[in-house]
DNA sequence: TATCCGTGGTT
DNA sequence: TAACCAAGGAT
């Protein structure tokens, strides 16, 4: 009975709700309480390709510092980038600010209440538009993330590999999306995928959709969804210069606004494709070791050079030690700092 | 449409 | 340990 699937899942959700800082529990929601669209949007952007555990503390810090979208819109770029440091996919932070400012300027400080209008905002794609529309505004939008793709591929035994199967899985998800409690339903499917219908060893024995699940009946649930093979990651190498002035100031530069780690603060480096660049100034360089870091599509081995100089750098700006926080750096830069700061055996 | 874009936890 | 994986979006 396909028509009973959504109510079955909502019953499960009511009994197994997971508390999160950006959520309104189903009980309070039934009593009329509505989530703050700003908090729903912020959490959904943070949750793009990112785990709930990783997002929690960032969400708390952002909402404590910028309680409303107007506060965020008025923030300085560098402050937001520094607060996002470590969370990854830094284009999200750049688009977060663009979006907040668009809401402030073009929408009177209120998030538009439809999925179609949300989709037009920076950093909001099909998933996030549907998630915010359903969770914050009760629109029966079709929410399709990696969890939903996995659940649908198993429930309906879809053997077409991703990403080719995406349109089919979206259509299947649309057929199940209810008019009643669409926001709770969206969160319920994603919770199901996150806690029961997991990638490797799904807990089918306690799944509310065990009976109608075609993959479970065929015993192939763990092999779905199928995915196209991914390209191997090449190894890239480069140099990074950690320069301090005798007074302790640290040489930092803001990376270009686009591309890898775009808009983030960092230490000057060579290119990472074998190209060579001159050092930012003259110094007696000391090699402290190597830092290894894996990005989305390549492995990086960075040789860390340390030097002390009071000269005028050709790149970057000396930042007073008191104004420098390693926590404001992307992880690969923080690794380099930690390596240079850690005493090594002679 | 294919590629680019981080990070930390899990297996 | 290397591969895989996560509440994707922009270009």
- Give me the A residues in range 307-346 that sit within 7 A (CB) of strand B: 330-332
Strand B proximal to A61 Cβ, under 7 A: no
Residue A3: the pLDDT is: 60
Strand C proximal to A262 Cβ, under 7 A: no
CA atom of A58 to C1′ atom of C11, Å: 27
Strand B proximal to A261 Cβ, under 7 A: yes
Q: Which nucleotide is nearest to A199 (CA to C1')?
A: C5
CA atom of A277 to C1′ atom of C5, Å: 36
- As ranges, strand B nucleotides with an atom below 7 A of a protein CB are 2-11
CA atom of A12 to C1′ atom of B10, Å: 26
CA atom of A36 to C1′ atom of C1, Å: 44
Does the annotation count A44 as an active-site position? yes
C-alpha closest to that of A242 among A118, A154, A339:
A339
Residue A37: the pLDDT is: 98
Exposure on the CB side of residue A193, measured as CA atoms within 13 A: 22
Q: Which residue is nearest to nucleotide B7 (CA to C1')?
A: A88
Strand C proximal to A193 Cβ, under 7 A: yes
Q: Which nucleotide is nearest to A148 (CA to C1')?
A: C7
Strand B proximal to A161 Cβ, under 7 A: no
> How far apart, in whole angstroms, are the C-alpha atoms of residue A321 and residue A329?
14
Q: At what angle do helices A126-137 and A182-195 cross, to 10 degrees?
A: 120
CA atom of A200 to C1′ atom of C4, Å: 10
Q: Which residue is nearest to nucleotide C8 (CA to C1')?
A: A48
Identified catalytic residue from A33, A44, A83, A253? A44
Q: Is there a common fold for A2-223 and A235-341?
A: no
> How far apart, in whole angstroms, are the C-alpha atoms of residue A328 and residue A296?
21
Residue A45: the pLDDT is: 98
Residue A275: the pLDDT is: 78
CA atom of A45 to C1′ atom of C6, Å: 13
Q: Which residue is nearest to nucleotide B2 (CA to C1')?
A: A163
> How far apart, in whole angstroms, are the C-alpha atoms of residue A16 and residue A75?
37
> Mean pLDDT by 10-residue block, N- to C-terminus, for chain A (346 residues)?
83 94 95 96 97 96 98 98 97 98 97 97 97 97 97 96 94 97 96 95 96 96 93 93 97 94 96 87 96 94 96 96 96 96 64
In this structure, which topology does domain A2-223 adopt according to CATH?
Answer: Endonuclease III; domain 1 (1.10.340)
Q: Domain limits of chain A?
A: 2-223, 235-341
Superfamily per CATH, domain A235-341: Nucleoside Triphosphate Pyrophosphohydrolase (3.90.79.10)
Pairing of strands A299-308, A317-319: unpaired
Alpha helices in chain A (DSSP H): 5-15, 26-30, 37-46, 52-65, 69-73, 77-84, 91-106, 115-119, 126-137, 146-155, 166-176, 182-195, 214-218, 331-341
């Amino acid at each position: 009975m396909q028509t009973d699937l959504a109510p079955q899942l909502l019953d499960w959700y009511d009994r197994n709700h997971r508390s999160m800082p950006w959520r309104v529990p189903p009980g309070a929601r039934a009593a009329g309480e509505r989530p703050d669209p700003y908090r729903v949007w912020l959490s959904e952007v943070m949750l793009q390709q990112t785990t709930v555990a990783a997002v929690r503390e960032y969400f708390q810090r952002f909402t404590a510092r910028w309680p409303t979208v107007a506060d965020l819109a008025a923030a300085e770029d560098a402050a937001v980038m520094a607060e996002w440091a470590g969370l990854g996919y830094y284009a999200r932070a750049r688009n977060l600010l663009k979006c907040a400012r668009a809401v402030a300027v073009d929408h009177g400080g209120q998030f538009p209440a439809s999925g179609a209008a949300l989709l037009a905002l920076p950093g909001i794609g099909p998933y996030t538009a549907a998630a915010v529309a359903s969770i914050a505004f009760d629109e029966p939008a079709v929410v399709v993330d990696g969890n939903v793709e996995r659940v649908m591929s198993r429930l309906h035994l879809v053997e077409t590999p991703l990403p080719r199967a995406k349109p089919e899985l979206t259509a299947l998800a649309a057929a199940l999306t209810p008019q009643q409690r669409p926001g709770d339903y969206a969160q319920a499917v994603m919770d199901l995928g996150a806690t029961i219908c997991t990638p490797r060893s799904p807990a089918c024995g306690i799944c509310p959709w065990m009976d109608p699940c075609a993959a479970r009946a065929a015993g192939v649930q763990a092999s779905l969804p199928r995915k196209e093979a991914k390209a191997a990651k090449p190894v890239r190498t480069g140099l990074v210069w950690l320069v301090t002035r005798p007074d302790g100031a640290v040489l930092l530069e803001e990376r270009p606004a686009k591309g890898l780690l775009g808009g983030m603060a960092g230490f000057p480096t060579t290119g990472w494709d074998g190209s060579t660049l001159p050092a930012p100034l003259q110094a007696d360089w000391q090699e402290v070791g190597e830092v290894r870091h894996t990005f989305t599509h390549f492995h990086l081995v960075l040789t860390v050079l340390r030097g002390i100089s009071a000269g005028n750098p050709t790149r970057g700006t000396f930042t007073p030690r008191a104004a420098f926080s390693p926590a404001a750096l992307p992880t690969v830069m923080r690794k380099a700092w930690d390596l240079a700061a850690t005493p090594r055996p002679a």
